Amino acid sequence: MKALVVRLDSFGDVLLAGPAVRAVAEHATSVTLLCGPRGGPAARLLPRVDDVVVWAAPWEGSGAPAVDEADVEGLVGRLRAGGYDVALILTSFHQSPLPTALLLRLAGVGRIGADSTDHPGRLLDVRHRRLPGRHEVRAALDTAAALGFAPAPGDDGRLRVVPTPGTGALTGNGPYVVVHPGASAPARTWDPDRWAEAVTALADAGHRVVVTGGGGERELTRRVSGAAGVDLGGRTDPRSLAGVLRAADAVVCGNTGPAHLAAAVGTPVVSLFSPVVPAERWAPWGVPVVLLGDQRAPCAGSRARHCPVPGHPCLNQITTHDVVLAVRKLLKESA
């Protein structure tokens, strides 16, 4: 049985789909993951994925492309050529799987299942309805199970990635804490000055600090690192970043993909979690976590990219002392 799993969102979303992907792989001869451009690097880190198809959907993300007939027809043709027997469409609680299901029907996929609030007509063979407040990992596993894909016996449902390389040449010798200041939406993280203060405070508390960031975040990581941190901005790809996070004692970051990558390599997370999306659905999964931030702030549930409340109080009420204490708590628990 050839299976297709669809998760069209970002890097962290694809990582959260990993346990469901493993459940599908337990019953299929091969698994192809269809994802968006932001999720492609994460898809290539997931165990038991045989092939990755990257496609930018016109209905996903803040920078979604315009509808292009030839592009849509090209995807349908590629999926038809894949000859998939079954497809599992994974979406967040606020998204509809039906546009994707329509394309899969046109591609001749034999059996299609998804979590859908909207009535699916003939687009879905299995319509699952998620339980209220379900974490995205559990919701995906529930939907997979509804389609007949139970996890392997003994699978703990945690996030996982393929083996990571050694990264001592990047980080230097000795224990360290990672600070990852960037996020895809400004509402989900501190401003650079606050992060720089946190790096200094962690260094003053005796921690060696490694600051990570993508290729477009070099200026940010340089500013945040200052004289106290090791600046790895732009110096890691997703797999080597996973290695850096795996070797860390703890990771401090906002609500962003690397928080889930840290969880996937088993590293505790201090999460500065803005409630623009619910922590009960999106908090780092399966590792010790300290959530910082007012989860009942006025911005709660708004999905805002930029904080709608002057002063960004949900995160700016957090102090650098709070961060140091949270790291200390996680290290004590893991000792």
Determine the Cα–Cα distance for residues 20 and 155; give it in Å rounded to an integer: 11
Q: In the block, which residue shows the tokens 């003994």?
A: 154
Contact assessment for residue 86 and residue 110, using Cβ atoms and an 8 Å cutoff: yes
Task: Give the SS3 label for residue 211.
Answer: strand
Q: What's the confidence (pLDDT) of residue 101?
A: 98
Determine the Cα–Cα distance for residues 141 and 124; give it in Å rounded to an integer: 18
Cβ count near 174 (within 10 Å): 7
Determine the Cα–Cα distance for residues 289 and 282; give it in Å rounded to an integer: 12
Identify the helix (H) or strand (E) that includes residue 120.
Answer: none
Q: What's the confidence (pLDDT) of residue 258?
A: 96
Write a three-state SS string for 131-191. CCCCCHHHHHHHHHHHCCCCCCCCCCCCCCCCCCCCCHHHHCCCCCEEEECCCCCHHHCCC
Q: What's the confidence (pLDDT) of residue 307?
A: 86
Q: What's the confidence (pLDDT) of residue 146?
A: 98
Q: Quick one: how many helices (H) and strands (E) in the chain?
A: 14, 12
Q: In the block, which residue shows the tokens 């999926």?
A: 79
Q: What's the confidence (pLDDT) of residue 304?
A: 86
Our measurement of the distance from residue 49's CA atom to the centroid of its chain's CA atoms, rounded to an integer in Å, reads: 17
Q: What's the confidence (pLDDT) of residue 232?
A: 98
Which residues in the chain land under pLDDT 50?
Answer: none
Q: Measured at the alpha carbon of residue 321, what is the angle toward residues 318 and 324, in degrees to the nearest 5? A: 110
Contact assessment for residue 305 and residue 182, using Cβ atoms and an 8 Å cutoff: no
Provide the greatest CA pair distance for the chain: 61
Determine the Cα–Cα distance for residues 239 and 101; give it in Å rounded to an integer: 31
C-alpha count within 13 angstroms, C-beta hemisphere, residue 20: 34
E strands of 240-279, at which residues?
250-254, 269-272
Determine the Cα–Cα distance for residues 181 and 121; give it in Å rounded to an integer: 44
Determine the Cα–Cα distance for residues 102 and 249; give it in Å rounded to an integer: 45
In eight-state DSSP terms, residue 252 is E
Contact assessment for residue 60 and residue 9, using Cβ atoms and an 8 Å cutoff: yes
Contact assessment for residue 195 and residue 179, using Cβ atoms and an 8 Å cutoff: yes
Identify the helix (H) or strand (E) that includes residue 115.
Answer: strand 111-115
Query: In order of start, what are the domains of the chain with their CATH numbers?
Result: 2-146 (3.40.50.2000), 168-334 (3.40.50.2000)
Amino acid making up residue 332? K
- The pair of structure tokens assigned to 287 is 């590792």
